[in-house]
Amino acid sequence: MKKILCIIALLPLGFLMSCHAQEQPRGDSKASVAAPRKISAAEAKAMMDKGGPYTLLDVRTEAEFKDGRIKGAILIPDYEVASRAEKELPDKNAVILVYCRSGVRAARAAQILADMGYVNVYNMGGIMSWPYDTVRG
């Protein structure tokens, strides 16, 4: 009889525990997002010189881009990354090296790309700290 009373007494407790477990969040949905990695100009240059495929993304304005850019860069201003990336950067596994003038916009754009599911995003900071050749026009 004592066993039956114990089982009856514990049943509501087990039910409450199972309900509580179901209500617990499964984790932050952003936890699985690959964070952009910050790299130096030298690290970016080494990646570029290695010869593997990559996309060099300038997130400054068109005027800044024309004034001087790293050779081979494509332009998507930071304020247009969210709306243009999926069309212009369709491979979410591709290596993407992001830069701007000082690094602020590059950090923001790199995070937007990571939040969109791009997994190999590198924030290389700003062209102001790029000691290598640039092109104009």
| Strand order from edge to edge, sheet including 74-75 | 37-38, 120-126, 95-100, 55-58, 74-75
Residue 45 falls within a domain, yes or no? yes
What are the residues facing 126 on neighbouring strands? Answer: 100
pLDDT (mean) for 86-109? 98
Question: Based on the structure, what is the number of domains in the chain?
Answer: 1
- The rounded mean pLDDT for the chain is 85
Q: Which domain holds residue 93?
A: 30-129
Residue 37 falls within a domain, yes or no? yes
- For the stretch 112-121, pLDDT in tens is 999 999 999 9
Residue 20 falls within a domain, yes or no? no
Q: How many angstroms separate the CA atoms of 20 and 24, rounded?
A: 7
Q: How many angstroms separate the CA atoms of 136 and 110, rounded?
A: 24
Residue 25 falls within a domain, yes or no? no
- For the stretch 59-68, pLDDT in tens is 999 999 999 9
* Least-confidence region, from 14-18, 109-113, 116-120: 14-18
Residue 3 falls within a domain, yes or no? no
**CATH number for 123:** 3.40.250.10
Residue 3 pLDDT > 90: no
